[in-house]
Structure 1
Amino acid sequence: MIKEENFEIAEPKASSLIHSIRSFGYDLSTAIADIIDNSITARAKNIWIDFNWNGQDSWISIKDDGIGMNEEELINSMILGSKNPLEERAKNDLGRFGLGLKTATFSQCKKLTVITKSSNDDVYERCWDLDYITKTAQWRLLKKGSDLVNHETLNNLENGTVVIWEKLDRIIDQEVEVEDNRAHDVFLNNAAAVKKHLAMVFHRFLEGPNNIKIWFNNRLLEPWNPFAIAIQATELLTIEPLFVNRKRIEVRPYVLPHHSKLTTQEHEKLAGINGWNAHQGFYVYRNKRMLVAGDWLGLGFQKEEHYKLARILIDIPNDLDEEWSIDVKKSKARPPHNLRQDLKRIAKITRERASNIYRHRGKIVSRNIDMDFTYVWEQSLKHGKYSYQINREHTLIKSLMKNVSIKSDLSALLKLLEETIPIPTIIMNYSEQPDNLKGPFEDAPPKELITVLERNIDSLLKQGNNLNEIKQRLLHMEPFDLYPELVVSCCEAKLEV
């Protein structure tokens, strides 16, 4: 037992601490997402977010129809560190430290007002004003805050909460005028970025029959699902359960379709906020809430173009926060040491499959047929240098090479083509605009493809193959593997003849 004279209370200075916690590293999107967490934990079914432009007096509000708070609960929620992160929490609780409301708010503005009511109770209001705390040097929680939103805003709700941000000094210049169009555009662009971020982070809450609705400036927010589960060509590899401290974690590896399998709209949407390359990797969710949006989690992998189709979902419960090193902003996570090898293994398998889909333009090569796949071009490595040759065993090439009269000319032509491939230009174009390169016969009239296909069928017939064998070979030969229905119809037409 420590004697009373052996210690003294050393309270932090209000004005110093309140300004220190403004530097937790939030951006506007992660800050607002942290406020939304509170609304979801409060079982809200509707959340309304409004960005209101008024120059230096602009403000942001987040309202929900959750269970609300009584006066004691409201005061407690305004206290810094109102929750112990070591305490056991409800399964649906998206918080941890009891800091989110305050740290998220003060990272963006200097005035926070919360108005709330629970069923069969009065409306209560409290406000933190950083300028007032600095002036008084005391933790003075005001009973009256914003004049912009009054208690009547909750009249049409049985219960709910409104969070109002004012003095947006980290978002807009505090000297800006209402008529400043450039500043207004920046404000609107910030709102658009927040909207995209929320559509991504909370997509699993926005989807499904019992979904939550988020209204952004009076428009319903559409979810952004990074795994394209509604698209048939998306591959879900083996789902794996992993365990930490006997608690289950589920890992679901997805390989997205090659862009040739997507519409332009689908491809643009799946690029997400930061583009295809940036969104590859693991997606870590805690209680359906996305924490990490595409990261290889320090497992030794780099984000590279040919792995961009690999996206892996990890579901963790909220009682493994410490093991996963979840930060206050809920925007970073690191896997426990005993999971790293399993996650590496899953990542390698998913990356390999994604690379195959990417390199082969979306073709799926059957594993049940022993027939080799036939490529037009072959790669070789000699003295540490790569080169590319036309496959002399390809059906048409092989047929032409048998013609003695043109054999030498054809050989010379093939060699000339191989030695003059514009590799630097191809590499430059592919690195700058990888999705703008034309696929095989992508823009050609169908007649041209049919002509080339029929010439191959004729060559294979001359080599003594029957039409069933020819069909199987063509389905495993580029570029005809991309057009299976046409292969079948052309072979059947030959059979009828």
Structure 2
Amino acid sequence: MTKSIDEDYSIVALDKFIQATRDSGYKGTSSAVAELIDNSLQAGATEIAVSISVDETGEEHPLVLSVVDNGSGMDARTLRTALRFGGSSRFNDRNGLGRYGMGLPNSSLSQAKRVTVHTWRSRRGQVLSSYLDIDEIASGAITAVPEPRVVPRPTFINGHASGTAVTWSRCDRLDNRRISTLTRRLLVSLGRRFRHFLWGGVSLTINADPVEPVDPLYLCPSSRFSGATQFGDELVIEVAARSDDRTTTGSVRIRFSELPVEAWSKLGNDEKRLRGIAKGAGVSVVRAGREVDYGWLFLNGKRRENYDDWWRCEVNFDPVLDEAFGITHSKQQIRPMPHLVEAIAPDIEAIARALNARARKAHLAVKTAERFSASEGRASEKDVMLPPLPQRRRPRDEQVLGGLGKNLPPAADAGEAHRKTEYRILAKSLSETLFFNYARDDGRFVLVLNPEHPFYKIIYKPLLDADTPAEATLRGHLDLLLLAIARTEALLEKETDIKVAEYIRKGWSDTLATLLDG
């Protein structure tokens, strides 16, 4: 059977390929721009400027996006190769951010109909330029990357001795048509993806606004938001690059952090969203200092809960483990292999469950403290109407306060003149069988409720957990009853009187426990 002269059996149907490739690989504008920044960093750039503007010539899609860097620049051959799909002078090189040579053309044409590249290698040397254009490729007007030509030095070079400028024009697929919205979103997403480079001194701007590093773990003080604490030591796990070849291995480094529940749980919903707390739970996966994925990863069967918003995890891996992580050419998603999941997921899931439990406990403590506050405030307000409490501690007070440790609430400003007695109520397991204890402490009066006593479990905690106004009022009155009993005992100074009062309180506690149990 002879082939018709009009039939085409080339491996790639270029006109259809160039249209189809626009729909593949990138989740959005941020991911595509990140590819250009990868190339800049690979070329040794320390200054990278992203700009978004409007073409005033009347184009249907007038937005223009450019990335200009001070990297090493390219010669004519390298430039032409870089604009090819799969063209790269560093193909499969694992020492940097790129690897497959798909980034420049694929990311660019996923967002724009035309990409133009200018590059130069010295301050007074030639500026070379070439391009790709969707319409010209689809029509068959060009079937190869146009040979680079020497052009006048553009004004946007910004005086860099060497570098590259990539310009997207006729941008028909950007995430948003408003420059302000695009800029705001890029500032956050690129700040997170390239945080390690920004910490290392790289300058990255968007329309002259500096990109601040965004630390999803909230650990670095120089990040946009910080205040978390690292949980435990960094885990380092050696993993085979391939399941069928255990001779080549790489390191996976895993860090966890706890967000400050007491300080941040009181923030409003808008502020929590701004900081990335609400619905921000997940694991950040970092390759060669660049975030390549973020999500509910390596957590196996653990269900995501609201308390998981209050911890974070970073998984940092060597590029030699690309196959194990299933890294894609667009570097925005992983598809981890079973042997990798088996090696690291159990530890990640176990720590995540522990952090979830800690967050739950911390929120309960905050909730409890908030519900105590009304009773504390009322007692503090009425204190001036009662016989004054002696200020100095007694030996029994020292013992109670010492048992509280870190649970002891901080005192108010000691310099505040004529301050009222501060009342504090907290729940803390007691070594005795008492259902409450107390201590006076230099202007504070601390009431300690024993959560192990049947009174707390059967009577007090149901009222503490309840949300109806009637139950909240009843619990508040119960707080005041206990404060009144404890405060009256705290007025005693004679050792014999103190011992009698403690004997009565212990007998009362034991009798109450007996009556309530069973």
Q: What TM-score comes out, normalization by structure 1 length?
A: 0.68
CA gap 1:232/1:214 in 2 versus in 1, 3 angstroms:
closer
Residue 192 of structure 2: aligned partner: 200
- The answer to whether the aligner puts 1:190 opposite 2:196 as a matched pair is no
CA gap 1:160/1:257 in 2 versus in 1, 3 angstroms:
same
CA gap 1:240/1:291 in 2 versus in 1, 3 angstroms:
same
Residue 164 of structure 2: aligned partner: 161
Report if aligned partners of 1:286, 1:317 keep a CA contact under 8 Å in 2.
Answer: yes
Q: Hey, what's the Cα distance between the residues in 1 that align with 2:298 and 2:271?
A: 24
Count of aligned pairs between the two proteins? 389
Identity %: 21
SS in 1 for 2:362: coil
Q: Hey, what's the Cα distance between the residues in 1 that align with 2:382 and 2:86?
A: 71
Name the structure, 1 or 2, with higher relative contact order (CA <8 Å, separation 6+). 1
Q: CA deviation at 1:22?
A: 0.7
- The answer to whether the aligner puts 1:59 opposite 2:64 as a matched pair is yes
Q: Hey, what's the Cα distance between the residues in 1 that align with 2:295 and 2:382?
A: 42
- The answer to whether the aligner puts 1:466 opposite 2:396 as a matched pair is yes
CA gap 1:88/1:164 in 2 versus in 1, 3 angstroms:
closer
Residue 121 of structure 2: aligned partner: 118
Q: Hey, what's the Cα distance between the residues in 2 that align with 1:122 and 1:197?
A: 35
Q: CA deviation at 1:276?
A: 2.8
- The answer to whether the aligner puts 1:103 opposite 2:106 as a matched pair is yes
Q: Hey, what's the Cα distance between the residues in 2 that align with 1:38 and 1:336?
A: 27
Q: What TM-score comes out, normalization by structure 2 length?
A: 0.66
Moved more, 332-341 or 70-79: 332-341
Structure 1, gaps ≥5 residues long: 1-7, 173-182, 364-374, 376-434, 459-463
SS in 1 for 2:129: strand
Question: Could you tell me which of 197, 202, 213 is aligned with 1:212?
Answer: 202
SS in 1 for 2:323: coil
CA gap 1:192/1:443 in 2 versus in 1, 3 angstroms:
farther
Q: Hey, what's the Cα distance between the residues in 1 that align with 2:400 and 2:382?
A: 14
Residue 370 of structure 2: aligned partner: 440
Q: CA deviation at 1:84?
A: 8.9
Root-mean-square deviation (CA, aligned residues, Å) is: 3.9
Question: Could you tell me which of 229, 238, 245 is aligned with 2:233?
Answer: 238
Report if aligned partners of 1:100, 1:328 keep a CA contact under 8 Å in 2.
Answer: yes
After TM superposition, the structure 1 = structure 2 runs for residues 341-490 of structure 1, keeping only pairs within 5 Å, are 341-361=342-362, 440=370, 447-448=377-378, 466-474=396-404, 481=407, 483-485=409-411, 490=440
Q: CA deviation at 1:484?
A: 4.2
Q: Hey, what's the Cα distance between the residues in 1 that align with 2:75 and 2:399?
A: 76
SS in 1 for 2:31: helix
Q: Hey, what's the Cα distance between the residues in 1 that align with 2:345 and 2:48?
A: 38
What does the per-residue CA deviation read over 1:252-290, in whole Å, with 9 as the maximum and x for residues that have no partner?
12222215357859x9777568x4354322211001101
Q: CA deviation at 1:15?
A: 1.3
Q: CA deviation at 1:211?
A: 1.0
Residue 308 of structure 2: aligned partner: 307
Q: Hey, what's the Cα distance between the residues in 2 that align with 1:359 and 1:319?
A: 38
Residue 178 of structure 1: aligned partner: none
Report if aligned partners of 1:28, 1:108 keep a CA contact under 8 Å in 2.
Answer: yes
Q: CA deviation at 1:343?
A: 2.8
Moved more, 28-37 or 482-491: 482-491
Structure 2, gaps ≥5 residues long: 1-7, 241-248, 389-393, 413-423, 425-437, 446-489, 494-518
Report if aligned partners of 1:109, 1:169 keep a CA contact under 8 Å in 2.
Answer: yes
Question: Could you tell me which of 173, 185, 188 is aligned with 1:170?
Answer: 173
CA gap 1:233/1:48 in 2 versus in 1, 3 angstroms:
closer
1:17 partner amino acid: F
- The answer to whether the aligner puts 1:39 opposite 2:40 as a matched pair is yes
Greater gyration radius: 2
Q: Hey, what's the Cα distance between the residues in 2 that align with 1:343 and 1:9?
A: 46
2:194 partner amino acid: F
2:441 partner amino acid: C
Q: CA deviation at 1:311?
A: 1.2
Q: CA deviation at 1:86?
A: 7.1
Report if aligned partners of 1:69, 1:117 keep a CA contact under 8 Å in 2.
Answer: yes
Q: CA deviation at 1:160?
A: 0.5
